[in-house]
Amino acid sequence: MTAHKLLLLILDGISDRPCPELGNITPLQAAFTPVLDRITREGICGIMDTIAPGIRPGSDTAHLSLLGYDPHKYYTGRGPLEAEGSGIHMEPGMVGFRCNYATLDAGGRVIDRRAGRIHGTELLSRAIQEGVDLSSMGIEIFFRSGAGHRAALAFRGEDLGDRVSSNDPKKEGALPPAFRATGNDPGSAKTAAALNEFVRQSESILRSHPVNADRERNGLAPASTVLIRGAGTMGRFEPFEERYGLSGSVISAAALISGIGMVVGLSRVQVPGATGSVDSDIEAKVRATLSELSRKDFVLLNIKGADESGHDGKAVQKKEFIERLDGALEPLLDIRDTLLVICADHSTPCSVKDHSADPVPVVIRGEGVRIDSVGRFDEVFCATGGLHRIRGASLMPILMDLLDRSHKYGA
């Protein structure tokens, strides 16, 4: 038999390096994962460089690669993808940016790049959307909240460029630098000037906003500025359904991942309680996935909590999240007529607190799959599996062949 549907489950940042607090093994090795291990025993495994060996993938470039869209061709920057996933319809030629709400001290220095990991910023974002006016520069702005402290910004107008610097100093205690053009084109100079004016007007709005007044009264960090980076110009993407003949949906709390799915034509499914953090309602995301598979051919499901723990350097928390995640995946054991693919998009070692180039584990389970002898889903055991070591760009061709949808090369 041949499966007809495909579930691509990306466990964001789940792979790691040995952690001293876990006895010099990874959180994935340390975790009790009976569900992932059973899927592994019933499938074929390997390890994967989502871009190429030695290349540290971003979540954006990694997801594009895993979906079969060469990031060297399609990727212009994270901003347009983040903006699309935040609810801004990005038309070709618009310039998009990813943003953070942040806290400044009285001297204008950044004292918290995430504004106390603020949540519920919709009122702040609405005030900025309605209050900032760049019409004198011929620019229409679009500003939306993302998950937590995140937000997205887009400019629409004539003669814009995306070769601009960031105002994010990347550390606390520093002044946000002014935007400047990093290219010689007039469009990028115009965009940099517009960004400086956007921040100036936004800070004025945020200073007097009731949400910030309430936060300060309660001893919480106010959102006093917007840090902006990841500029990119929106391009054109071949629709996923045209490329593969599969209708599809994307389920993710992260605006970036939702945006990637949406720009290739996947339907976004929003799940109440999905936060993108360790407190996310994973069970609800799994239920939504099964519902989508009843009417779609393909679902991209991203679960992000392990990545957050890796960025925070919390190995024990990462292990505990993996164990909770494993239990929530149990309903996937019963899916039929579906290739179940589980992998990470990148490693996020607790020792690095960022992405690394370490390859990630991958398993494919379903009808027609050759089953190897691997019995545990982790970075070391999967390396001994029948897929061996592959690149992210090879994943969709392998899966399309298993679905009997690939075309013969040659006579």
- In tens digits, the chain (411 residues) has pLDDT values of 799 999 999 999 999 999 999 999 999 999 999 999 999 999 999 999 999 999 999 999 999 999 999 999 999 889 999 999 999 999 999 999 999 999 999 999 999 999 999 989 999 999 999 999 999 999 999 999 988 899 999 999 999 999 999 999 999 999 999 999 998 999 999 999 999 999 999 999 999 999 999 999 999 999 999 999 999 999 899 999 999 999 999 999 988 999 999 999 999 999 999 988 899 999 999 999 999 999 999 999 999 999 999 999 999 999 999 999 999 999 999 999 999 999 999 999 999 999 999 999 999 999 999 999 999 999 999 999 999 999 999 999 999 999 999 989 998
CB 7 within 8 A of CB 338: yes
CB count within 10 Å of CB 162 equals: 24
- Tell me the domains of the chain and their CATH numbers: 5-76+236-402 (3.40.720.10), 87-233 (no CATH)
**Residue 149: CB partners within 8 Å, gap ≥ 6?**
100, 101, 102, 114, 115, 117, 118, 119, 121, 223
Classify residue 138 by burial, with Cβ atoms within 10 Å: 0-12, 13-18, 19+: middle
112: enclosing H helix or E strand: strand 110-112
Task: Give the closest residue to 263 by CA, choosing from 250, 275, 254, 252.
Answer: 250
CB 363 within 8 A of CB 354: no
**Residue 44: CB partners within 8 Å, gap ≥ 6?**
363, 364, 365, 369, 370, 371, 372, 385, 386, 387
Distance CA 363, CA 370 (A): 11
Distance CA 315, CA 318 (A): 5
**Residue 272: CB partners within 8 Å, gap ≥ 6?**
281, 284
pTM: 0.90
